[in-house]
Structure 1
Amino acid sequence: MGRNTLLQSIPSKMKAVVVTEYGGVEKLEERKVPVPIPKENEVLVKIYACAINNSDILMREGGYGTDTKSSEKAGWKREAISFPRIPGTDIAGEIVAVGENIDSSCLGERVVLFPFASSGPDGSEHMAEDITLMSSECDGGYAEYIAWPKELCRTMPLSSYVESSSFIVSCFTAWHMIEKSKVAPGEKILITGATGGVGSYAIQIASKVFGANVVALARDLSLKEKMIELGASEVLSYKSKTLSEDILEAAGGEIDVVLDVVGDPLFSTCLKVLRNGGRLAIAGAVAGAVTQLDIRTVYLKHLSILGCTLGTRKEFDQMLAAIREGKIQPLIDKTFPLGKAREAQEYFKDSGKFGKVILKNEG
């Protein structure tokens, strides 16, 4: 990096929180590590905020399993992680240095980072075999700086670093689920895990962007009013012993689309309440990754089951546009300084929170 490629003095070392090996929060360790140097077509971003996701927790715990053994420890690609690894996929920051082939006029831009790189063509980049996801295949945002391709940087949708970081993976995943499900205005949508990051953003997107009627499922009803404010027509507790009947009554009939992040405990209910020809979009399994399926239910009801992870650059840009237009509001529960990453991840797993948990870098 020459002088004309720098916005400010860049230190040689930075503070980062790394995962040293699979395990509990004790495997998160604060270290001083080299500041990355942007390569050709890359920029160096000074990180001011990074939201926490379930993927950060699952990466540390090795919770994705492998293709041959669901309980084996592995990362997001169902392969072994190379440790130490800096977690974090939801980054908002400022471009402070550029690599070769990048015009220095971008210095000072306040950006959010598209969270993965791949060689896949537009529209299927999220399905490429060589996908490189921050926090799994490469270092992420629990740090002071990151080097990232300039073409994967986008102007921050809001003026706040913290608020802008809150959307990146959770809201993006929710958007992709709804796009892939081809949700139409007036359709009846069931959203599980509705107080979580993906679920709470899905309520907003489905109701306020796509014009659907939303029934939200949550652990309890203490946050019912907040979910109604976000756009849910009805909010139900999944602890009900008559849950299927409750859903059908609340929706006024069978469901067109289910957006599920819970997994096993609600899987049979999701299939039961779908209409013939309904769609089930799955983007998580926070309460159980292995389930039983009566395949006859799928073909006799002509159901479509859609696996959803991340999304396309076009969808990411559409999401950012909706945020700028005020159709999707940031949902933030609490912020922590970077050095409190252990406490932040423990708090993140607290079922009582509503909205995103954010790590901040000061200065």
Structure 2
Amino acid sequence: MMTIPTRMHGIQLIGHGGPEMLHLNESIAVPTPKANEVLIQVAAAGVNNTDINTRIGWYSKQAVDSDNTGREASAEDASWSGNALGFPLIQGADVCGTIVAVGNNVDAQRIGERVLIEPCIREADGQQLDQPWYYGSECNGGFAQYTVVAARHAYAVNSALTDIELASFPCSYSTAENMLTRAKVVAQDRVLISGASGGVGSAAVQLAKARGAYVIAITSPSKSEQLLALGADEVVPRSGDLVEALSENSVDVVIDFVAGPQWPQFLQLLKPGGRYAVSGAIGGPLVELDVRTLYLKDLTLLGCTVLEAEVFQNLVQRIERGEIKPIVAQTFPLAEIEAAQTLFLKKQYVGKIVLTVAP
């Protein structure tokens, strides 16, 4: 049986702001699992938009700049759930690791399981949550050697993939799978995906194809071949006129991570009765909506954050069956998180950036 140390190293966010707010602490107390919790030794953790947005306070309704600068963010509503954050905070929602200890009411046979953490959690500190939390936002996450989570949110995964590859899945792929689930995507649907080269976008391409949909990916020309190799049936440049390229009333579903100035075109592209699902606004959170288009075309608009109950288990099963593949653009040691986030923000890669956590 392994000896669990009392202290660990990890990255702590000490306040809202730039990368200078991320501090490497070599002596953080290793958490102890409470009843219904498990202690996980973290092997790898992915980098996400949520990490950046939480750090800069972008979720605050006062932070509306399109360039994600978090203008005058209020500390009172700057978390994923719209509440204040507690500092110091260990971020990191994309976690792959091994269960090394369990609390009361958890079968000790789970020790040794390799697991992925469901990032949208409904239980913490032994309590059912009135409103779901995001792992590494409302509670400590995986940018450290050890982390705790309710046992129900630690999913055993049986796969030949590496820890780094598995850490690329939880947030991006569960977000994409949730959007496709909410939008009721089925075979033969024509699905348009914005931001298709990013972590969530590239996941959505694969997952939509797994459902039998016809996939149209929006990306920069330099990334077109990579998206086609992932399974996209068609690629359109993000800088062009989408309606001119695809024609009005040409798609059944829009899966959007960008919003921004092009947003009105998405509704023009949707067929009558079409479905629009969104889970990000990296192109700018404020858009122009012609309500006539919405009601005259009988469109359904879906905001997607909280995972449907079946989504994460379905995702794990797809991983185990080999229906989707990981796309790791680059890895960094945990201590180099600033360099990882700098590369992440440049958006010049396809897939995910993953941090490795030394034992």
Q: TM-score, normalised by structure 2?
A: 0.92
Q: How far has the Cα of 1:156 moved from its partner?
A: 2.4
Report the AA paired with residue 332 of structure 1: V
1:134 alignment partner in structure 2? 135
Please tell me whether residue 230 in structure 1 is matched to residue 225 in structure 2.
no
Out of 23, 28, 36, which is 2:17 matched to? 23
User: Are residue 318 (structure 1) and residue 314 (structure 2) matched?
Assistant: yes
Partner residue of 2:290 out of 281, 289, 294? 294
**1:22-171 correspondence to structure 2 within 5 Å:** 22-31=16-25, 32-66=27-61, 70=64, 72-73=73-74, 74-118=78-122, 129-159=130-160, 160-171=162-173
Letter in 2 for 1:56: D
- Tell me if structure 2 keeps the 8 A contact 1:258–1:281: yes
In structure 2, C-alpha distance between the alignment counterparts of 1:44 and 1:322, rounded to whole Å: 25
- Counterpart of 2:211? 210
Instruction: Give the aligned residue type for 1:38.
Output: P
2:67 alignment partner in structure 1: none
How many residues in Structure 1 have an aligned counterpart in Structure 2?
Answer: 344
Cα distance, 1:103 vs structure 2? 2.3
Instruction: Give yes or no for contact 1:157–1:164 (8 Å, CA) kept in 2.
Output: no
Equivalent residues of 2:80, 2:133 under 8 A apart:
no
Residue 12 in structure 1 maps to residue 31 in structure 2: no
Q: 1:138 to 1:193 in 2, by over 3 A?
A: same
Q: Offset at 1:47?
A: 0.2
| Kept after mapping to 1: 8 A contact 2:258/2:280 | yes
Q: Deviations over 1:188-214 (max 9, x none)?
A: 11000000011101001101x210001
Q: Between the two proteins, what is the percent identity of the paired residues?
A: 37
Contact 1:119 1:130 in 2 (8 A): no
Report how far residue 318 of structure 1 moved: 0.8
- CA displacement at 1:287 relative to structure 2: 1.1
The secondary structure found in structure 2 opposite 1:60 is: helix
Q: Please give the alpha-carbon distance, in whole angstroms, between the structure 2 residues aligned to 1:184 and 1:105.
A: 39
Gaps of 5+ in 2: 65-70
Contact 2:145 2:358 in 1 (8 A): no
Structure 2 counterpart of 1:257, from 243, 247, 253: 253
Q: 1:172 aligns with which of 149, 171, 174?
A: 174
Deviation (angstroms), 1:283: 0.6
Deviation at residue 170 of structure 1 after TM alignment: 0.5
**Separation (CA, whole Å) in 2 of partners of 1:8 and 1:215:** 49
User: How far 1:295 moved relative to its partner?
Assistant: 1.0
> How far apart are residue 307 of structure 1 and its match?
0.5
CA shift digits 1:108-156 (9 cap, x unpaired): 1111111232269xxxx9xx74322211110001000011111221112
Query: Structure 1: which 5+ residue stretches go unaligned?
Result: 1-6
Inter-partner Cα distance in structure 2 for 1:101 and 1:272: 53
Runs of 4+ in 1 over 6 A off after TM superposition: none
The corresponding residue for 2:303 is 307
Q: CA deviation at 1:309?
A: 1.2
Amino acid at match of 2:9: K
Give the root-mean-square deviation of aligned CA atoms: 1.8
Partner of 1:16: helix, strand, or coil? Answer: strand
Shift, 1:172, TM fit? 0.3
